[in-house]
A and B are shown apart, each in its own frame.
Chain A
Amino acid sequence: MAPSAHGPADRDAAVLTLTDVRIHNDAADTELVHGVSLRLVRGGVVGIVGESGSGKSLTCKAVLGVLPQHVEVSGGSIELLGRDVAGLSRQEWTALRGNSISAVFQDPASYLNPSIRVGKQVQEVLRIKQGLSRAAAKQRAIELLDAVHLRDPDYVYEQYVHELSGGMLQRVLIAIAISLEPEVLIADEATTALDTTVQAGILDLLVELKDRIGLSLVVVSHDLAVVAQLCDEVLVMRDGHVVEQGATSEILHAPQHEYTRLLVAEHEQYGLSGSATGPHPPVPVSVPASVPVPASVPVSVSVPEPRSSTVPESAEPVLRVDGLGVHFGRGRGRKQALEDASLVIRPGETVGVIGESGAGKSTLARAVLGLVRVSAGSVHVAGRDITHLSGRDRRAFGRDGVVQYVFQDPLRSLDPEHTVATSVAEPLRIRGGLDRAAIDDAVRRQFRAVRLDESLLDRFPGELSGGQRQRVAIARALISSPRLLILDEPVSALDSANRVAILELLRELRSTIDVAMLFISHDLGSVAGISDRTIVLYRSRIVEAGDTSRIVTAPAHPYTRLLVGSAPTLSSGPTDRVQRERLRAGLFVS
């Protein structure tokens, strides 16, 4: 595939050019990346999309000259600012990195030294590379922390890594990366695993820096929407091959390769798709008077059709939570994890819970299950008050299997030493009263229900793929015929293809068996794609609840608006950025 050097940016100087770069693992004698070509012009943004293992990160590492041991560039050339990096000596590399090219990565906490105050690490680069004095470097470091919009840079300067949040640390890393004003910045999954609103903030910052100091960006992500939002040109990688490459709009509108089509389809089905498509209803806005009202964020969503078979309002709810409060710790260390939460789930209904990490989503689920101590309010399951059951009654209630739970990471929620059949059978074996054959039969039935091949029955979790494992976990949860299934981030640990498949499975199960679901996620797209109603948690409180379609099209609370406006979509434009800016200001000031 030829580098797309035919755009209007052709006359601009290329700052980074990759020509058919191949990467080879000498120890295993296998080629890991089979030819990547790209051309990044000054002020341009190129995106690389792909799953983990697709070779996108290796390509970045090759550009930075930090490939792991035994892995090296075996073909093609990398030209940075007109210099072929292949022949660079160690000293030349050291001089080049930081000054001409820099990078930020996923998991920012791990990229800073945990034993040194973060400010010192900003200052270090300035002192070593620019020869600034201690005082001058400190002053400049604080300016940089301010430039990446960290509030109170003096305070941040003095902190250790474990005292700052992921979003703040990523800003610190960006401050370090731009401190020497390099031409090229590589953002390798820089917003992955951050909350949606925080992710949008970091992406906005990158765009702002690009415009303000003329950075050229290489943005790498598994999320097509993140890349689409920022980039002029996109490379789609899979198993070390570039399967598609071209202008962003072309890739989005006419994806050629099957894998690209999957990525686009995923966003169309389980994401908030573009605002440009179709008219959307006028948005009724009702916001608490204390909050400044920003312009509403226009989006249209593919929300499942409201199901006509909805149970009558009079049916006894499967779950009724009234004024639930949970707190951890005592005295000054007391932390309110959930405050005055109320919700009702009727039989067969799917309710989504959305919020950022630490908002109280999991606490809500765990309080319902009695895994954390409830300090206020009550929980009724199928009409029975289970708020303060004794240990014995709680176990008896658990053996009834009315409520079941599916965890985020199936690998950790299945005992590695039990075959998956043993794991699936466990709730029945704990309950007792069934003979071996009956249990075996039930397990096989569940396997078929979650579309797992029976040949996998005797495998161990480590031998299955992520998607298969999550199916096993769902089978285990369903075997006791629960009336309520609590799913805590069930698709967050999965890659795109499996994520879609599991969501499809849940949709299907909802229509075939009579089970209500409480679907918890930080990802608005998955919640919107599956739930009838949605609850928004923000800072331990339910700030908004209602029909999913209403929540996504006409969010009322400022946080919900920010969330809806932050969700990466395939067609977010610069206007969204401005709106987000105003929403953030509104949230923080009031």
Chain B
Amino acid sequence: MTLREVFEPLRSRDELAFVPYQTAGFPTLADSLANLRTLADCGADMLEVGVPFSDPMADGPTIQASSQVALEQGVRLADVLAGMRGLDVRCPRVMMSYLNPLMRYGREKLLADMQAAGVCGLIVPDLPLEEADAWLVAARARGISLVFLVAPTSTDERIARVAELTDGFIYAVSLTGTTGARRHLPPGLPAFLERIRAITDQPVVVGFGIGAPEHVRALRGKADGVVVASRIIDAIRGGEDWVELAKDLKAATRA
């Protein structure tokens, strides 16, 4: 299933894609893979898997700490790819990491191994479109979508350029800030999403700070999907009933 095929049926049903995130290796690699399978069973439309990096500058405390836990256990990119290969879920998987560990692994080898593992998208927060030419060409050759982020500070021109280069979805960063659960949606978010929608019809998935079913409900009709990351990791760490939370989040994507 390609990323595109996720959004078309959901759009026709006025439903958001639910995209939960897990840091690979938190609390252990085996646990994170099992949790991804559980999240797929809870109705995830796509899974986002974070490959830990020692210096995650776009991430807030929750994902920093979960990455640290993974790195302390020696979880490596090769282990994550092997785990993804064995992950028997039907929904598409995308991977997120920072540029340095990806470059170190090697661009061609990474994309080949992602393809073999059935990972169809790649999110790299420190790879802006000006620096992404070689990655775009190589990813396309493997049928892998390079996912660009747009932020409230992005100009209309840049959003249009991202839309042109997008063959999966656009990741809309909900606010100026790092990742991490927040109580309320940013007040400027609806206007930001309208601004994107006026520029492009590409699927738009919103992330950063989204964690409650009412957040998700408020975004219906304004976007194509939501990423929920830190909130689920906080729930796992805090011993909350995160499976119930995931089910509630998915339920909130539907009418």
Asked if A and B bind, the verdict is no
Show the binding face of B for A, using Cβ within 8 Å.
none
